[in-house]
Amino acid sequence: MTESGTSEKRFVVDVMMGKLAKWLRVLGFDTRYRRLDRLQTVERFSREGFLILTRSRRWSEHSRVSILSSNDPMDQLREVMARIPVAPGDVRLLHRCIRCNERLSKLARSLALSHVPDYVFETNVSFYHCPKCNKVYWSGSHPRRMIDRLQDELGWSVSMNEQTGG
Ligand SMILES: [Zn+2]
């Protein structure tokens, strides 16, 4: 009941906007990072329900392409948020790997022990890891600083709880 796969917002971010892609992953959105130099690519992602974010005007006539004007990643994120309604409820922190977009899996505490500093282990209950690159995440780690910044910038209040899981 908590799985809302059908309405999930998904993005393709054109190359040169890597930081925007990371922010969208921090927020838990399925975010592909691709060079969008072929119509074929744009059309395929479009058919799959992705919203395509680019700074190039090349595909401006395509209905699912959103052209961003800003250079700054945070301003780009604001542009995205202004165009598609993203509610704080859509946000799922600690859901995707920031590096590779993979969905994170819960990591047993006993396994986390060897991957994180002692104080982190002592002060966190839950850990997650990326099945692809093995990066370990926890609620107090660097995503938190990102979230703080995001809250400041966008005026959101996003709670850092782990909510429903899956
Ligand atoms: Zn990863």
Assess whether pLDDT exceeds 50 at residue 161. no
**How many angstroms is it from 101 CA to the middle of ligand 1?**
6
Give the pLDDT of residue 10: 95
* pLDDT reported for residue 153: 74
* 96 CA distance to ligand 1 middle (Å): 8
Å from CA of 105 to ligand 1 middle: 11
Q: Are the CB atoms for 86 and 28 separated by under 8 Å?
A: no
CA–centroid distance, residue 129 to ligand 1 (Å): 8
Confidence bin at 95 (pLDDT 50/70/90):
very high
Residue 82's pLDDT band (cuts 50, 70, 90): confident
Rg of the chain (C-alpha set): 17
Range among 76-90, 92-106, 141-155 with highest mean pLDDT value: 92-106
For the chain, give every domain's residue range: 10-86, 105-164
What is the pairing mode between strands 105-107 and 127-129?
Answer: antiparallel
24-29-33-37 Cα dihedral, nearest 10 degrees: -100
* pLDDT over threshold 80, residue 61: yes
- Distance, CA 63 to ligand 1 centroid (Å)? 31
pLDDT at 156: 67
* Over residues 50-71, mean pLDDT: 94
- Contact predicate 143/97, CB 8 Å: no
| 100-121 pLDDT, tens digit each | 999 999 999 999 999 999 999 9
Is 160 within 8 Å of 147 (Cβ atoms)? yes
> How far does the centroid of ligand 1 lie from the alpha carbon of residue 155, in Å?
28
Share of the chain above pLDDT 70, in %: 86
Please determine, for residue 164, whether its predicted confidence score (pLDDT) is greater than 80: no
Strand partners, 54: 67
Q: Are strands 51-54 and 10-14 parallel, antiparallel or unpaired?
A: parallel
40 Cα–ligand 1 center, Å: 27
Q: Is residue 112 a contact partner of residue 121, using CB atoms and an 8 Å limit?
A: yes
pTM of the model: 0.84
Q: How far is the CA of 134 from the centre of ligand 1 (A)?
A: 6
What separation in Å is there between the alpha carbon of 137 and the centre of ligand 1? 10
Partner residues linked to 106 by β-bridges? 128
Residue 4 confidence (pLDDT): 42
Centre of ligand 1 from the C-alpha of residue 57, in Å: 31
Measured in Å, residue 76 CA sits from the centre of ligand 1 at: 23
The pLDDT value given to residue 88: 72
CA of 104 to the centre of ligand 1 (A): 8
Tokens 């994170």 correspond to what residue? 104
